[in-house]
């Protein structure tokens, strides 16, 4: 992950809010670029990858509370 990766700080938000934030801001990244979501609601561990699957983006994994996604389209 480069320093240029945009980070959405959704700590303190309960799902589905982090997913809504992700959907709102994914378009700000270039196609092929990464976006990281910080989320401390445990539901994000299921819902970020599920969102990627449903919306056709790529889920790259989590590092603690940081979930990284690649914009695919």
Partner 1 sequence: MSTRGVSASSDGYFDAASTEPLHPAAREVLLAAADEGWADPARLYGSARRARMLLDNAREVVAAVVGARPDEVSFTASGTQAIQLGMLGTAAARRREAGDPRVVAVSAVEHSAVLQSAAHLARHEGARTVEVGVDRDGRVDPAAFAAAVADDTVLACLQAANHEVGTVQPVDEVAAHCAGRGVPLLVDAAQAAGRVPLPAGWSVLTASAHKWGGPAGVGVLAVRRNVRWRSPLPGDEREGGRVPGFENVPAALAAAAALRARWEEADAVAARQRELVDHIRARVPELLADVDVVGHPTLRLPHLVTFSCLYVDGEALVTELDRAGFAISSGSSCTSSTLRPSHVLAAMGALTHGNVRVSLTSDATRDDVDRLLVAVADVVTRLRAGLGAL
Residue 43 lies near partner 1 (rule: CB under 8 A): yes
Catalytic annotation, pick one of 5, 15, 33, 45: 15
CA angle 43, 52, 44 (to 5 degrees): 10
Q: Cβ contacts of residue 50 below 8 Å, gap of 6+?
A: none
> 68 and 1 in contact (C-beta within 8 Å)?
yes
Residue 68 lies near partner 1 (rule: CB under 8 A): no
Q: Which of 45, 60, 62, 66 binds partner 1 (CB under 8 A)?
A: 45
Contacts with partner 1 by CB under 8 A lie at 14-17, 19-20, 23-24, 41-43, 45-47, 49-51, 53-55
């Amino acid at each position: 992950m480069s320093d240029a990766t945009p980070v959405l700080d959704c700590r303190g938000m309960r799902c589905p809010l982090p997913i809504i934030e992700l959907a709102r801001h994914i378009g700000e990244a270039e196609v092929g670029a990464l976006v990281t979501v910080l989320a401390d609601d445990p539901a994000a561990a299921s819902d970020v990858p599920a969102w990627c699957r449903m919306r056709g983006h790529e889920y790259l994994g989590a590092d603690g509370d940081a979930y990284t996604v690649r914009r695919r389209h």
